[in-house]
Structure 1
Amino acid sequence: MAEIVLETEGLTKYYGAKPALDHLDLRVPRGCICGFLGRNGAGKTTAIKLMLGLLTPTAGSATLLGCDSTSLTPAIRQRIGYVTEGHRLFRWMTIGRLEEFQRAFFPKQWDGRLFAEMIEYFELSKKQKIKHLSNGQRAQVSLALALAPNPELLVMDDPTLGLDAAIRRQFLEGMIELIMRQGRTVLFSSHILADVERVADRIVVIDKGVLRADCPLEQFRASVRKVVVHFENSVPAEVELAGLLHFRRSERQLELTLVGVGDAEVADWAARAGAERFDFVEMNLEDQFIEFTASPHRRRLFQWEKA
């Protein structure tokens, strides 16, 4: 059984009467690259800050590398890397000076050769000042600074937000190469689902502070499906199908979003409903995530959507 590197039990955070995170139970095994997904305001950043001991929970607990997050020791913190959106670095420093500053906190574990390799990989110079770097270059420096101490656990909160496609790909390829080489455990939050699909082997989905999914990426991809059912005449008034998330109807079609429903179950329901035929619609991870987290009572925003 794989060792659990990050674990939460009933982790909860309230702001006043409003829950930002509601009883999150999560277990991330060693060597896993876990995509942490949720819409804006879903509670991802709150959860990450609670896990890292940057916020105090209202209830529940989080454990990192066997230590409670509310009392992480300096020795445990040295084994954790953290990359956040915005990449806040001392702008007046050069990359080389920033390396010296960061290395002072990790005197026994700093890998200067790895840092130099990453800076070279990203085609940067240690003489460059942070204030003269682009957003993408600052993101690359942040990744190098986070990985050079050889952390066992790397937590990344939307690190590619605001970067263009080419820089994002280079950033991710650098991350993948180093993670595969070192076998690190990664919790990777991102709004860009293509990035998550590129690197993650497991995904966690939270919605309005509540855990909705925690499974291997392949399982989620296989479970969330969309099917269009065609009828010769009018569509049935009710859809009674286990695993139905929501549906849209037109005059002679039903569009169903399903979770964990097999082909045979769809075929059996379609036959009983008098359908003419049905077709599965190909979906990427972004399509699946949007459908999975969509409100069952969402309203249409534009007149043309009623067509």
Structure 2
Amino acid sequence: MRTSAIVQTQNLTKKYGSINSVNKVDLHVQEGEIYGFLGPNGAGKTTTLKMLLGLIKPSEGTINIFGDSLSKHRSSILQRTGSLIESPSYYGHLTGLENMKVMQRLRNVPDKNVHEALRIVRLENQKDKRTEQYSLGMKQRLGIAMALLAFPKLLILDEPTNGLDPAGIGEIRELIKSLPKTYGITVLLSSHLLSEIEQIATSVGIISDGNLLFQGSVESLREKGRSAILLKTGDNTKAEQLLHTQGYSLTISGSHLEFDNLQDKEVAELNRLLVKHNIPVTRIEEHKKSLEDIFLELTGRGQSL
């Protein structure tokens, strides 16, 4: 059953001069999701998230969060929203706990929220240490603790694992994955790391050059990539000629003949046909496209995330 939309935009656009940094983006983030906003650096992710928080004014389009218009109800919306954009802000000469106390006064929340947020991000044993002595991962976790302080219904995170080592990335990943089920928090996070989005998100939006190219579940994204059958024979030239006369559609991929989306029955028939014409089949492989392959196909660009 489809849940209600927490974030919904229509034709969201941000222009800088003649350049559309974000171009007519329609986001739909459902309650209880971890929505991965994926794209290369400079694709428009941070600009979009800043518009959702009212930090940047859209050139065109509408934003509705919790069913309310951001332009009309920004204050009440932000009271139920936590965010960490670009990098955490903190006072280096203060301890982690003292920084949390500063944020506590701004958010007007009880003491128990401070200690619970520090516990969630596993900083309770480092709370009395000055933040200038924190590692990059600890600073990132402190920023997330500040964003969680009011236990918001919506948490917006911009590249939360950026710059972290593998251990730090794993810690942040597990933390984020626990939030919807344990605390009822819907998470919208951006990343240029496809591997991270694949492991953490339930839904994904792919943006490139300001355009939203795909939006849906991770599984539906995988389904966009058809599997290919790679076949190698003792005489690929002769095999190609024969198969073309029999109506098969194929391409040459290195030393293999490539066929899109053949069923098992069709592969068996193909093998029998080649053997019947004295063309030895030396290898048959199934190649399933990775999410990165699918991304490159969607964008039409030969670049990695």
TM range, smaller chain: 0.7 to 0.9
> Which amino acid is 1:176 matched to?
K
Q: How many residues align?
A: 279
CA contact (8 A) 1:249 1:255 kept: no
CA contact (8 A) 1:23 1:210 kept: yes
Q: 1:222 to 1:132 in 2, by over 3 A?
A: same
- Return the alpha-carbon distance in structure 2 between the equivalents of residues 44 and 226 of structure 1: 30
CA contact (8 A) 1:53 1:71 kept: no
> What's the counterpart of residue 114 of structure 2?
112
Larger Rg: 2
Decide which structure has greater helix share.
Answer: 2
> Which amino acid is 1:47 matched to?
T
> What's the counterpart of residue 233 of structure 1?
237
Deviation of 1:251 after TM superposition, in Å, equals: 6.3
- Return the alpha-carbon distance in structure 2 between the equivalents of residues 88 and 265 of structure 1: 56
RMSD over aligned Cα atoms: 3.1
> What's the counterpart of residue 87 of structure 1?
88
CA contact (8 A) 1:6 1:64 kept: yes
Deviation of 1:233 after TM superposition, in Å, equals: 1.4
Alignment of structure 1 residues 199-218 onto 2, 5 Å = 199-218=200-219
Other structure's SS at 2:107 match: coil
Deviation of 1:122 after TM superposition, in Å, equals: 4.2
Deviations 1:180-229 (A, max 9, x none): 20121111111222221222111111121111111111111232245254
CA contact (8 A) 1:8 1:61 kept: yes
CA contact (8 A) 2:54 2:74 kept: no
CA contact (8 A) 1:161 1:191 kept: no
- Return the alpha-carbon distance in structure 2 between the equivalents of residues 151 and 266 of structure 1: 53
- Return the alpha-carbon distance in structure 2 between the equivalents of residues 266 and 166 of structure 1: 46
- Return the alpha-carbon distance in structure 1 between the equivalents of residues 265 and 298 of structure 2: 18
> What's the counterpart of residue 303 of structure 1?
none
Q: Which runs of 5+ in 1 are unaligned?
A: 240-246, 257-261, 300-307
> What's the counterpart of residue 141 of structure 2?
140
Other structure's SS at 1:224 match: coil
- Return the alpha-carbon distance in structure 1 between the equivalents of residues 77 and 45 of structure 2: 22
> What's the counterpart of residue 149 of structure 1?
150
Q: 1:71 to 1:133 in 2, by over 3 A?
A: farther
**TM-score normalised over the length of structure 1:** 0.79
Q: 1:164 to 1:72 in 2, by over 3 A?
A: farther
- Return the alpha-carbon distance in structure 2 between the equivalents of residues 117 and 88 of structure 1: 19
Alignment of structure 1 residues 1-307 onto 2, 5 Å = 1-108=2-109, 111-118=113-120, 121-122=122-123, 124-230=125-231, 232-233=236-237, 249-250=253-254, 252-254=256-258, 263-264=262-263, 279-295=285-301, 298=302
CA contact (8 A) 1:19 1:209 kept: yes
> What's the counterpart of residue 302 of structure 1?
none
- Return the alpha-carbon distance in structure 1 between the equivalents of residues 25 and 265 of structure 2: 32
Deviation of 1:89 after TM superposition, in Å, equals: 2.0
State percent identity of aligned pairs.
28
Other structure's SS at 1:77 match: helix
**TM-score normalised over the length of structure 2:** 0.80
- Return the alpha-carbon distance in structure 2 between the equivalents of residues 117 and 222 of structure 1: 39
Other structure's SS at 1:90 match: coil
CA contact (8 A) 2:160 2:172 kept: no
Greater shift in the superposed pair: 225-234 or 125-134 = 225-234
Other structure's SS at 1:93 match: coil
Deviation of 1:124 after TM superposition, in Å, equals: 4.0
Greater shift in the superposed pair: 158-167 or 20-29 = 20-29
Other structure's SS at 1:205 match: strand
CA contact (8 A) 1:35 1:188 kept: yes
Deviation of 1:146 after TM superposition, in Å, equals: 1.1
> Which amino acid is 1:289 matched to?
F
Q: 1:128 to 1:72 in 2, by over 3 A?
A: farther
Q: Which runs of 5+ in 2 are unaligned?
A: 245-250, 275-280
CA contact (8 A) 1:248 1:255 kept: no
Deviation of 1:104 after TM superposition, in Å, equals: 1.0
